[in-house]
Amino acid sequence: MIGKLKGVIDEIGEDHCVVDVHGVGYVAHCSTRTLAALSGGGEAVMLHIETYVREDMIRLYGFRTPLEREWFRLLQSVQGVGAKVALAVLSTLDTADLANAIALRDIATVSRAPGVGKKVAERIVTELKAKAPAFAGAASGTIGLKQELGEGVAPTPVVDAVSALTNLGYSRDIAANAVAAALKAAGEGADSARLIRLGLKELAR
């Protein structure tokens, strides 16, 4: 089993790259985000690898971080999600955005990925909601509040503040981040007006 490749980029294709490791070229299929982050030919690279072995093939999938690889595995635990769809999701959303979308039950955001219809997106959001906090990465600081919002159990002032900021044109994710920062500054007992005011101040930075 190959778990990591460290070498130089030999080629970057539409959905893969070739990594030259001491003269041997390994084809690693990657998300478009991973491919976009790679430098050109001849540059050093290190990819975390998921190895798939089938009767008729061996295929390598490459990821910039272990967290991205974990999400690739996690997504495929959902019915109807295979390697192709998992890569499409990771091409559309980075790991923090994906964790946020699942916490907020934002089916529309997940369904933006090619090949992911509303039903599959709904399954991803429903089946992974309990696992998302452990794989939130950069989003871990606000994931709890976003889960409360997604499940409809957040305090009324928080819900009202997020709704007000959303009505001003901010995405639900950005609004929730701002309100989370406002809540931290104002304390748990803050009313919606104070949270909105502090949230707007946060967004103006």
Q: How far apart are CA 205 and CA 197, in angstroms?
A: 13
Both 54 and 90 in one domain: the answer is no
66: alpha, beta or left, given left = phi > 0 and alpha = psi -120 to 50? alpha
- pLDDT at position 126, please? 94
Interacting residues of 95 by C-beta distance below 8 A, sequence separation 6+:
65, 67, 68, 71, 135, 136, 137, 138, 139
Which of residues 63, 86, 109 is at a domain's end? 63
- Looking at the structure, tell me whether residues 73 and 113 fall in a common domain: yes
Residues 127 and 99 in one domain: yes
| Residue 58 domain-assigned (yes or no) | yes
User: Could you list the pLDDT tens digit for every one of the 205 residues in the chain?
Assistant: 789 999 999 999 999 999 999 999 999 999 999 999 987 778 999 999 999 988 888 999 999 999 999 999 999 999 999 999 999 999 999 998 999 999 999 999 999 999 999 999 999 999 998 888 888 776 777 788 888 888 787 888 889 998 999 899 998 888 888 888 888 888 888 888 988 988 898 888 7
Pair (116, 130) in one structural domain: yes
Helix (H) or strand (E) holding 162: helix 156-167
List the structure tokens of 12: 């970057």
133 and 89, same domain (yes or no): yes
Please state the domain count of the chain. 3
Mark which of 17, 39, 63 sits at the end of a domain.
63
Residue 122 domain flag? yes
The pLDDT of residue 123 is 96
Q: Both 131 and 86 in a single domain?
A: yes
State how far Cα 41 lies from the chain centre.
27
Q: Are strands 16-21 and 57-63 parallel, antiparallel or unpaired?
A: unpaired
CATH number at 186 reads 1.10.8
Q: Are residues 50 and 95 located together in one domain of the fold?
A: no
Task: Classify residue 140 by its DSSP letter.
Answer: T
Provide the residue range defining the domain that includes 100: 67-139
Q: What is the pTM of this model?
A: 0.79
125 and 169 housed in the same domain: no
Same domain for 73 and 49, yes or no, is: no
Residue 10 lies in a domain: yes
Same domain, 41 and 76: no
